[in-house]
Amino acid sequence: MDTGVIAVANQKGGVGKTTVAMNMAAGLIRRRGSCIVIDSDPQGSATLWTELSGDPSRFPVEVVLAEDKLNKQIARLQTEFDYIVIDCPPEIKSGSIMNVMSISQILLVPLLPSPMDLWASTRIEELIKRAKKKNPKILAYILLNQIEPRSAMSRGMDEALQEIDIPVLRNRLGRRASYRTSALEGCSVYDLGYRGRAASEEIDGVIDEVLGL
């Protein structure tokens, strides 16, 4: 099988790109095969995440910095890993993001249930249009993050998103302390025992929906 290259991107900051990338990588390793994360964000959050962990037996996700010649780096990593997850910076202007799009099979765009994030979604359409121009075969999905079932805004998202011409994953991530704890402890929601159970089921759902059962 070809290595699955999954990019997690959104030009908006703080929507959960790094949280999704790191927890998906952990889930892929548990359930699908080997996986490595490429940190293409100069903020280096994914790199810091693994540094916090310091215990590969608890959190086996390896993170490498993106190299200038990303295509070559990916080609090299593809010989070693079944999956590559790319954590992108919060911008789309730079050529490096389009570079990422041209070599990814799947693009996940986390989106928060907030008016500001919805208003920015026209720019997500632009991101995806540009990605598809570079790479017509890329499969792009919106992943709703920090959903609160009891909030009207979260419920209203479905209606609002019908206006946008991008598929939205049926599986979504709730607003849960365990996602924050996973970053604080430098691990994944899978490593938090019962505290992370609901979140890890959500990540499993996303993996299965995106990659097929």
Ligand X SMILES: Nc1ncnc2c1ncn2[C@@H]1O[C@H](COP(=O)(O)OP(=O)(O)OP(=O)(O)O)[C@@H](O)[C@H]1O
For residue 178, state whether it binds Mg ion (rule: CB under 5 A): no
Q: Is 205 in the site for ligand X (CB under 6 A)?
A: no
- Is residue 17 near Mg ion by the rule CB under 5 A? yes
The answer to the question of residue 19 lying near ligand X (CB under 6 A) is yes
When asked if residue 5 is in the footprint of ligand X (CB under 6 A), the reply is no
Q: Residues 6 or more apart from 163 whose CB is under 8 A from it?
A: none
- C-alpha 21/C-alpha 6 separation (Å) is 9
Give the one entry of Mg ion, ligand X, none that residue 157 binds, where binding means its C-beta sits below a cut-off of 5 to 8 angstroms depending on kind. none
Minimal distance in Å, beta carbon 173 to ligand X?
4
Cα 138 to its chain centre, rounded Å, is 15
Residues 6+ apart with CB under 8 A from 97: 9, 40, 88, 89, 91
CB of 87 to Mg ion, least distance (A): 6
Least Å from the CB of residue 50 to Mg ion: 14
Angstrom distance (rounded) from CA 157 to CA 172? 12
The residue among 138, 192, 172, 197 whose CA lies nearest residue 16 is 172
Give the binding range for ligand X (CB under 6 A) out of 8-16, 50-58, 100-108, 204-212. Answer: 8-16
Nearer to ligand X, 126 or 212 (CB): 126
Cβ atoms of residues 27 and 82 within 8 Å: no
- Rule CB under 6 A: is residue 191 a binding residue for ligand X? no
Counting contacts by CB under 5 A, is residue 18 touching Mg ion? Answer: yes
33 lines the binding site for ligand X (CB under 6 A): no
Q: How far apart are CA 110 and CA 105, in angstroms?
A: 16
> Applying CB under 5 A, what is the total number of residues that bind Mg ion?
3
Give the orientation angle of helix 177-185 with respect to helix 17-31, to 10 degrees.
80
Under the rule (CB under 6 A), what is the footprint of ligand X?
Answer: 13-19, 41, 43, 45, 90, 145-146, 173, 175-176, 179-180, 183
Interface residue list for Mg ion (CB under 5 A): 17-18, 45
